[in-house]
Every structure is written in C-alpha cells, then in structure tokens.
Chain A
C-alpha cells in the first residue's frame, strides 16, 4: 500500500451489479455511523450523494484491496484491515458495520438474508496483468526498447534482427507478463548460459522469445524443459549451433502434457498447422538466435541447414503396447518429458507391401543405412518415426519397441570390408582398421524409436542426427516437464 487504508468502512461496488444496487440504500446508514469510503469500479452513477464515494476508474484501489467480488465490505482500524465480507450476507454486514439489527430495518421490502455478488472488474480477462504491471511491485528486468518512432512493431522487430525470417509477435511488457504466468519459476531465475555467446538466459528472456514465437503461456513448462535439455552438457548445443552440418534441436514430447496443451502426434505430426508444435520449436530457435547469438552467416555456419531450424517439435502417439520414448529413457510412467535430438530433415520410408514384421524390419534397416551416407557407420544417431499402420504390423505380431530395435541393430551389422574408403569406387567410407570386423550402423543407444503420424499410411520416417553424435558431439537428452 502506498498510502495507509482509510479507517472505518470501505465498500467496493459496481453500478451494474444488482447486489451492489441492493445494498446501495444502506450506505447512508453506514456513513452516518462512521467514516465510509465507497470505491465504484464502473461508473460515477452509484452512491453519488455520499461524500466518501470515489469512481475507481483506473481500478487501482480495487486492485490494491485485492477485491475479487463486489460488493466487498471491509472494516479498517488503525490502517489495518480487520474484517471483510463480500456479496450480501445480512448477518456479516450487521456484524462488520457494527449496526446490528438496525441495519436496513426501515427498508421496504425487507432485504433477503443473502445474495451473492458479481465478479470484480479487476479480474476480468486481460485486466489483471494490466493492473499488476501498472500498480504491482513486480518489474520486468529486460531492457525496454522504445519503438514509438516506428510505424509497425513487427517491422521494428525485423529491423533489430530478432526474427527467424517470419513475423514475430512484438514482445510488449503485457504479453511477456502473461507468458510468465505460464510457469511458477521466477522471472529472474537463470535457466543456463546460452551458447554460442554463453550469456545468461533468464526465465524472462525465455518468456520474451516465447511471446515472439507465438506460444501460449501454458506451453512454458515444455519450452523450459526443452531448453534445459538442450543446455545439458551431453547435448553439446554449442557445437550443434555452429556446425556446418544440418542438425538443430528437435523436440519430442511424451506424457499427459502433450494432450493438455493440444500438441499434434497424429496426422502431419512432423508438419505445419499445430500451434503448440510450431511455436515451442520456434521459441527454442529464437532463444538460440536472440539470447545465444546463434545466427546463420555469423556463428551458425551451416552449409545447407534444414527447414526444422524454423521449428521442429512433435509429440509421440503413445500406444499401450509400446513403451513411450521418455519411459525407455528413464522417465516414470504417467509423467511428461521432452527429449531433444540434433535432427536433420525427414526421410520417408514407403513400404506398402510388408504385412509381417520380418519383412518390414528389413525395409526399415535398409532405409536407415542412408543416414549420413550408406558407407558411413557409428557416426550420426537417428530417430525412426514409426507410423500407426506400420507399428500395428509389429504390435500385432507381439514385437515390442525394444525387440524392433534389437532386430534392426542385428540387421544393420555390416562386414567392414564393404564400407571401406574406396570400396565401390567411392572415396567416402570407414577406416581400413574395420576391414575384418562386423560394423554396427549406429553407436550403442544411437537409434531412437518413436511412434507418430496419422492412422492412414504405410509410411514411416528416418530423422538423421548430427554426424558428430555421442560424447564427441551430441547425445539425445531427456528431461521431465515440471509444472
């Protein structure tokens, strides 16, 4: 409170609230009995004959009093609130006003014992954060950029280099405050040092970039978990941002949060059109760009890049017979989690003929050989995205995800001599020392399997990882989403 509360009685009311109108004739009695302040939220046309009536046009008084309903009756003594009631409760009004049974006794018809009030104007949609910004103690820490000279806020964002090439939502203080309501974490908390510039990234900076990406506040827990996962030492984000290769953080979401925020794991799961998928992935990319300074042509040295660098985020179409990705990676059942992977683009596997797992697994294995280069091995990790129709072939035959992975690993063992440098007239290939060995395509743990996609289509997909996978570069990281 800036100024002490006025002693006596305070009534907060709205002229268009029937219960406030019901109690309006009593206010003169209250004023006679002692000091009375009446704050009216919506009009000057209420209790106008009373000296203590004020039109609370900015709602500052109502907000400072923490008003949730009108009418609210408050008793203040020595600058402190000592009693409060809201709505019309005859007994409580009699007690708090100290007027006892005489209160309203002369009114005709007699007042009912009780009548509920209306919601306070301070809590109407969109109002609460405005009032908090205007009158609250909370201050956003980020630098304020005055763009009043610009005729278009979106163009101003472009000019400042804040965009990935698509329009961003201008990060006004009000929008950022609303975004911060999506997490219980403090705005000033540092999530980590953001590569490549290695500067601190606060929850507030995450919220600003989430606003620009088009996120809803409820996406914040997923975005924060994805950012933390990407900042894990094992993920090697610094190198991934700077590499000449294709990869960039791809986010896979498991658990109840995916449905709760409306993520797409079904038709076109890897494509456009779903707000959560599109904006969570984009927000992570904007954080890399704006907080980390990872911009193409500067420290992002990608030769070709890939369209997933705008955004790449989807959820698993979880199936009771297949262990979800996050659970395979140690997250308890029923919990939500994100897994980040240094994904390249999407390579389709079209197999519309296989009806048994033995044939389909061979199709998958053959297609997975293309990761990095058919003659390279143990370089890049890969995600195999199995569609519902393909997964049914395995599930109906009793193959678990684990079984599928083991069969693939077996099928992907290759005599080293077939992959050596120069073999097949191709200079690219693996080192001579593997000549007499059976070589796995992927390093241990380097093949991830996730189920996603629409219910029609005997198609699956390979998403190759960074050729520098594992301890030398990037390993996938899974992080639980905490609300």
Chain B
C-alpha cells in the first residue's frame, strides 16, 4: 500500500508542515552550544566563534559528535537540548 500520502487526523488548525522555531531577538542571557561534528579543522571555526561569543559575555558550551559519519547519539542530543538555548553546528569542511 502506498503510504506517502496520509490524511490529517487533526482539526487542521495548525500548519501542515512544522515551522522552524523563531530566531531569538537577542543572545543576552542565552546559552549557546557549539557542536563539532568531528570533521577535520571544524574546531578552528568553532574556536573562533567561541572566542567572539565569550567576548560578548555569552555563555558557550562545547560538544562534539564521535564521528561525522553518523547522526549524533541520542544521549548527546538530549544533553544538548537540556543544556543550551541555541546550537551552532558546522556541517562541512
């Protein structure tokens, strides 16, 4: 059976596709996470961002995935979601 089209079971008072969370107006009092996906030299980029954010007085937490070849482990995703308000992830070299 073709399962690519589903009928909406809701009262359809929300958009069909989930919208992204709105961007924050300010980083004031926010904790920013920096996720290194473990590709070479990603750390150089993220180190620089950390430097700049820290200079602005913004708290930064660093994370890294065990390998860029696989999605982040659930435990890591849960930890980041619990600890930071925003996350910056470098996706490529």
Contact = CB atoms under 8 A, between A and B. Distances in A.
A175 to B, nearest CB: 8
Interface string A243-275: 000000000000000000000000000000000
Interface string B1-30: 111111111111100101000000000000
A145 interface: yes
Interface residues of B, number: 15
Contacts, number: 76
Contacts of A156: 6
Contact of A176 (B3, B7, B10): B7
Contacts of B7: 140, 142-145, 171-173, 176, 204, 208
A200 B11 contact: yes
Chain B facing A: main interface SS: loop
A170 B3 contact: yes
Nearest to A293: B11
B5 A201 contact: no
Contacts of B2: 172, 174
A205 B10 CA distance: 7
A291 B9 CA distance: 7
Given A143-B16, A145-B16, A172 B10 contact: no
B6 A197 contact: no
Contacts of B10: 162, 290-291, 293
Nearest to A292: B11
Tell which of B7, B9, B12, B13 has the most Cβ of chain A within 10 Å. Answer: B9
Interface in A173-216: 173-176, 194, 197, 199-201, 204-205, 208-209, 212
B11 A147 contact: no
Nearest to A209: B9
Contact of B3 (A142, A172, A201): A172
A145 to B, nearest CB: 5
A144 B5 contact: yes
Contacts of A176: 7
10 contacts: A143-B7, A144-B8, A145-B6, A147-B5, A153-B3, A162-B10, A172-B6, A212-B9, A291-B9, A291-B10
Closest 5 CB pairs of A and B: A199-B11, A143-B8, A148-B4, A153-B3, A142-B7
Given A144-B8, A197-B11, A293-B13, 19 more contacts: A142-B7, A143-B7, A143-B12, A144-B6, A145-B6, A146-B5, A147-B4, A147-B6, A160-B18, A170-B6, A174-B2, A175-B1, A176-B7, A201-B11, A204-B7, A208-B7, A291-B10, A291-B11, A293-B10
